[in-house]
Structure 1
Amino acid sequence: MRYITELREGENISGIYLCKNKQNLKTKAGKSYYSMILQDKTGTVDAKVWDLNNGIEHFESMDFIKVDGMVTTFQGSLQVNVRRVRRTQEQEYDIRDYLPTSRFSLDDMMKELTGIIATIKNPYLKTLLESFFVKDKEFIKSFRDHSAAKSVHHGFVGGLLEHTLSVTKLCDYYCTRYPILNRDLLLTAAMCHDIGKTRELSLFPANDYTDEGQLIGHIVTGTEMLHDRIREIPGFPVGLANELKHCILAHHGELEYGSPKKPALVEALALNLADNTDAKMETMTEIFAGAVDGAEWLGFNRLFDSNLRRTSK
């Protein structure tokens, strides 16, 4: 099959893709058209069906569809103008071709994360981490396979693990430069800061918000998960529990970004900075990967509120 990262402007394509999302919209002139997101394991691409003719069979979001069309560009990103569509049968595709996956080994990343847990000295925090990442087989499987977001950054299988490991390693570096940081507290918070996403988002191929995700969100859900697990550890200090939960509640940094609290502890501030760094760097990485080859200026991006440009070689 022709993977999305292999598509080039001006070429005709004929292939099977997962229709991640489908909207029935109207042009300014009142003509109906479909706006879709097509997905395979290498990423996603915007697609449009401008002419709803007999060659466009009925399909819905999350269907695997055979697409015939032409690759164009719009505002610096690839787009597929679709001429024909049909729903496919299960035997026509291999589902492993349609799940975007981390470029890093999930086994290696999990091993590195548990290796960091072994360096935690505080017995209560170490027991807490091991209860999630070493002993809870159901949680481990979900955590390994989850994305870190529906879109924007780390929206792929293993994305949550990759993001968590990156944030943890950034925080570990901070501890070598700023002695005021409590390493055990900060690294525990880093490893647990997004555990709520295992319940906020469904697994692939849907990778969409659950009812709990829509109504509560991963920050509060993650704090509740920590609270419940801490209650199972005899003698866990109340003050330490409150400081850890504060780091989770404040890790988005600002109330307007969804944090119920703003950072009051230096560890909460450090976690917010590391989380924001990795999220933005991965977002930029994915924007560059999805842009047209050879393009320098990539157009205005609302996430960065800037017209983005590749660095000169």
Structure 2
Amino acid sequence: MSRFFVSQLQHNQQVDQVFLASNKQLRPNRQGNLFLQIDLSDRSGSMPCRMWNATERDYAAIENGDYVYVEGTAQLFQGSMQLIAQSIKRAEPGDVDESDFMTLQTSEVQELKERLLKTLRGIKSKPLAALVEAYLTDDVFMDKFCRAPAGIKNHHAYKGGLLDHVVNLMDVAQAVAPKYPQVDVEKLLVGVFLHDSGKVDELEYERDLAYTDEGQMIGHIVQAACLLDRKAREAEGRAQLAFPPMLLMELKHMVLSHHGHLAFGSPKLPMTLEAVVLSAIDDMDAKLASFTGLIKECPNADSRWTQYFPNIDRKLWKGVKGD
């Protein structure tokens, strides 16, 4: 039987299939009765699920990151789809098709990696090339970099999402930079590569997506800056050169300022031309990915508009079919 993906579910549709479980909680309702709250996802998106009159045994029967077999009914609630479950149990391995949960297939990840390597290994600057190789020849880092998401909710929140995001930004950087000859395109490309590199250790992504303890307490911006220090020292040994202190400071600045605003978590505002460009294209790519996902997952199939999203303080225009 073909599955219905999260983005395809309709109001009052009966559901009887496998999802990936995360963020499970056992909570009391207003009457004090317990219910199980859990997020269910597949490659198309995620939705909240509730199972009323749950028990401690129901809660303990599944773990975050499990594939679970769910029977229930999809419901439209306050403009978003949710699932009311009658039963949730751990799925048997034979019931799971891993491809249903992979936004990017293995071949797509490999293609993105090859594009990344081609771009970065085209850098001519000797210190930048040596720095890049210190990352690219680190098999542990590169394995994590190609598997990590760029986030757990807002944008590129899927395995391989970080790689997808970075390659997108490299394409944009190479398209934009020729219009602004005062921008050092090689420095910008390295900043694009490094800006979210801390996410390989900030996030967990073996099954469900979550923050590591280090990610919660330190965060990817500081993690990336610390990693950059270590890789700059490796680059010095690799290329038999003293890594230029000013260049290292500028690269760190791009990492530290790429969120663009102090209120968004950047400890510094962008103060170099390359940092300004990086912050702008990073914000654009993240917003377009996030907004596209909101439009795609919108359950208002017959409307030209999505529902109102409080977190972005607006509805989104879906357009007219055939335009």
The answer to whether 1:71 aligns with 2:78 is no
2:209 aligned partner: 207
The residue number in structure 1 matching 2:297 is: 290
2:12 is matched with which residue: 10, 19, 32? 10
- CA deviations on 1:186-214 (whole Å, 9 max, x unpaired) are 11101111111001011231321111111
Is 1:67–1:82's contact at 8 Å kept on the other side of the alignment? Answer: yes
Cα distance, 1:157–1:54 mapped onto 2, change above 3 Å: closer
Q: Which residue in the other structure is 2:182 paired with? A: 180
Listed as ranges, the matches of 1:154-173 within 5 Å are 154-173=156-175
The secondary structure found in structure 1 opposite 2:50 is strand
Which position in structure 1 is the counterpart of 2:144? 142
Q: TM-score, normalised by structure 1?
A: 0.91
Change (3 A) 1:43 1:103: farther
Number of the residue aligned with 1:27:
29
Please identify, of 112-121 and 136-145, the stretch whose mean Cα deviation from structure 2 is larger: 112-121
What RMSD over aligned residues (CA atoms) do the two structures have, in Å? Answer: 2.3
- Work out the CA distance in 1 between the residues paired with 2:274 and 2:247: 12
Are 2:258 and 1:255 equivalent residues in the alignment? no
2:249 paired residue among 218, 242, 248: 242
**CA deviation map 1:159-199 (0-9, x unaligned):** 00000111222222221111211111111101111111001
CA displacement 1:223-251 (0-9 Å, x = unmatched): 11111110122311111111111111100
Residues 56-65 or 107-116, more deviating:
56-65
Q: TM-score, normalised by structure 2?
A: 0.89
Q: Structure 1 66/288 Cα, relative in aligned 2: closer, same or farther at 3 Å?
A: same
Q: Is the 8 A contact 1:251 1:268 kept in 2?
A: yes
Asked if the contact 1:99–1:204 (Cα under 8 Å) also holds between the matched residues in 2, the reply is no
Does the 8 Å contact 1:147/1:157 carry over to 2? yes
Paired residues of 1:51 and 1:83 also in contact (CA < 8 A): no
Does the Cα contact within 8 Å between 1:69 and 1:84 map onto a contact in 2? yes
Q: What is the CA distance between 1:26 and its match in structure 2? A: 3.2
Paired AA for residue 71 in structure 2: D
Contact 2:11 2:75 in 1 (8 A): yes
Give 3-state SS (helix, strand or coil) of 1:307's partner: coil
Structure 2: gaps of 5 or more residues = none
Judge which range, 22-31 or 52-61, deviates more: 52-61
* 1:93 aligned onto 2:96: yes
Distance (Å, rounded) in 2 between the aligned partners of 1:214 and 1:196 = 12
Instruction: State the alpha-carbon separation in 2 of the partners of residues 90 and 311 from structure 1.
Output: 41
For residue 216 of structure 1, what is the amino acid of its counterpart?
I
Contact 1:193 1:251 in 2 (8 A): yes
The residue matched to 2:306 in structure 1 has which SS?
strand
Question: 1:227 is aligned with what amino acid?
Answer: D
Does the 8 Å contact 1:42/1:101 carry over to 2?
A: no
**How far has the Cα of 1:222 moved from its partner?**
0.5
Q: 1:56 to 1:211 in 2, by over 3 A?
A: closer
The correspondence of residues 260-279 of structure 1 with structure 2, limited to 5 A, is 260-279=267-286
The answer to whether the 8 Å contact 1:102/1:156 transfers is no
Q: Structure 1 residue 296: deviation in Å?
A: 2.7
Question: Deviation of residue 54 (structure 1)?
Answer: 12
Structure 1 gaps of 5+ residues are none
- Map 1:301-312 to 2 at 5 A: 301-312=309-320
Q: Which amino acid aligns with 1:244?
A: L
The secondary structure found in structure 1 opposite 2:159 is coil
Letter in 1 for 2:274: E
